[in-house]
Amino acid sequence: MSVPAESEMLIGAPAQQPSESLVAALREGAADHPEIRAAYLFQMMILAEGEEPHLTLGLELGDRADFTRISNDLAGRAMKVLPEGSYVDFYALPDDMAETVRQTVEPFYERGD
């Protein structure tokens, strides 16, 4: 997903905890991408008419990370375990937003090296 720079957003812990199968699939996928420094699952809502809160996977990435390639891989893994009709948005976290997310939820994955 992309969010216009002037958009106001609310970030919080998910209203319902993501399933362990989803977390495990995403954790395993993140480990396959050394460009991922940390990964978070949180709820985000863009303050605009018609918008609803949604589960978001936020990624802290290295400088040369290919976000499209990484998000496509992780989305494919997520779709295998998500209930039909469910989805997760993917977002590359800029430093300032990563700090806000870190204050709200713990990462479910952090690169160990």
Going 46 to 47 to 48 to 50, the CA torsion angle's sign is positive
Give 26-40 as a DSSP string.
HHHHHHT-TTEEEEE
How many Cβ atoms are within 10 Å of 5's Cβ, its own excluded?
5
Q: What is the share, in percent, of the chain residues with pLDDT greater than 90?
A: 65
Distance CA(96)–CA(98), nearest Å, equals: 5
Q: What is the pLDDT of residues 86-110, one digit of tens each?
A: 889 999 998 888 999 999 999 999 9
Mean pLDDT confidence for 8-12: 83
Identify the pLDDT of residue 7: 66
Q: What is the pLDDT of residues 19-56, one digit of tens each?
A: 999 999 999 999 999 999 999 999 988 776 667 888 99
Identify the pLDDT of residue 44: 87
Identify the pLDDT of residue 24: 97
How many Cβ atoms are within 10 Å of 96's Cβ, its own excluded?
7
